[in-house]
Amino acid sequence: QQFEPETNGKNPNSGTIDILQQMLDYYTRNADQWRVMAYRRAIAALKKQKTKITTKAQARAIPGVGERLADKIEEIVLTNRLRRLENANNSPEDLIIQKFLGVYGAGLSQASKWVAQGYRSLEDLLEKAPLSKQQRIGVERYNDFAQRIPRKEVESHGAIVRKAVQSVDKDMQVIVGGSYRRGALSCGDVDCLITKRGATLEQIRNVVLAMIVPKLVNNGFLKASLSISSHQDGSKWHGASALPGSDLWRRIDLLFVPDAEIGAALLYFTGNDIFNRSMRLLARKKGMCLNQRGLYTNVLRDGQVKLNEGRLVESRDERRIFAVLGVPWRPPEHRIC
């Protein structure tokens, strides 16, 4: 989740960030969600500092840096290394699991299972492992999907989807969300929100799945379908696309958004995920509930368990969701935690 403009040029804390990033990579491969979040938050906060942070007290004063991370930052600056990182388990198995986690759709349990079954490389998987159709694509196109997509190319994919959508229904709209909407110079995938004034989820889903996806498969733009939520309120199609004349496959998500929920969906699909998490947490603290469909009040909880749905207060207007939560408006470019 990098926001390149901020990492351009020399950052006074780049040495520290480098080591913290390695720690983050380690926790990511071990699926340690809490530490992953803490490290991402701390790295993002450090990237914003204009001066070099050298002491624990300075580190602790930065919002987003907790006690233990402040200790580690001081250790890194003083010793140019981090003992915890050197003790980290970088066994060969670990590195293979990390590699396998890059296969589209494979989570920690699948990746560990492959290692336990004796597979050691992508070639092993291709030749010996029983793979689903989607997993096979994930392995075959591993290197394609691992590459960042330049902003300009994301725009081209969005334009092709938009053209197909509007040739079917000129009133339908395509908005590219995700890291693209946050202004990133390169993206991990293409997130297309598809919506239409007055339309319901069912209407949009039907048009996209029955007309638009087949059209884009036929003209060669969509290369593969990786996951479709086909159940009652399914709202997405995940797959791969490539620009005409290119054999480089990109990950693309088509997200079906009913008009009434466009504000909440824009908020959710703009992210980033950590920003979303903090907005949801804030809503929860105020007795509300925020999800990709709307902001609800009067939600009763018993601990973590929601006792009722609450009352919908806003879903159409992204700005009003901020206002109701009492959060000053943040443009997408600033929603990076």
Interface positions with ligand DCP (CB under 6 A): 1, 178-179, 187-189, 191, 268-273, 276
Task: Output 192 or 295, the one with its CB closest to Mg ion.
Answer: 192
Task: Give the three-class secondary structure for 42.
Answer: helix
Are residues 64 and 337 in contact, defined by beta-carbon separation less than 8 angstroms? yes
Task: Output 106 or 252, the one with its CB closest to Mg ion.
Answer: 252
Task: Give the three-class secondary structure for 149.
Answer: strand
Residue number with the shortest CB distance to ligand DCP?
271
Quick note: the x/- pattern for Mn ion over 171-190, rule CB under 5 A, is: ------------------x-
Total residues binding Mn ion (CB under 5 A)? 3
Sole binder of Mn ion in the list 191, 261, 314, 318 (CB under 5 A):
191
Q: Does 191 bind Mg ion (CB under 5 A)?
A: yes
Beta strands in the chain (DSSP E): 149-150, 172-176, 186-187, 190-196, 222-228, 236-241, 250-256, 289-291, 294-297, 301-302, 305-306, 311-314
Are residues 188 and 157 in contact, defined by beta-carbon separation less than 8 angstroms? no
Task: Output 270 or 315, the one with its CB closest to ligand DCP.
Answer: 270
Contacts of 57 (CB under 8 A, 6+ apart): 70
Reference 56, options 44, 72, 38, 41; nearest CA is 72
Stretch that binds Mn ion, among 106-114, 199-207, 246-254, 317-325 (CB under 5 A): 246-254
Task: Output 144 or 189, the one with its CB closest to ligand DCP.
Answer: 189
Q: How far apart are CA 178 and CA 260, in angstroms?
A: 20
Residue number with the shortest CB distance to Mg ion?
178
Q: Does 257 bind Mn ion (CB under 5 A)?
A: no
| Residue ranges in contact with Mn ion by CB under 5 A | 189, 191, 253
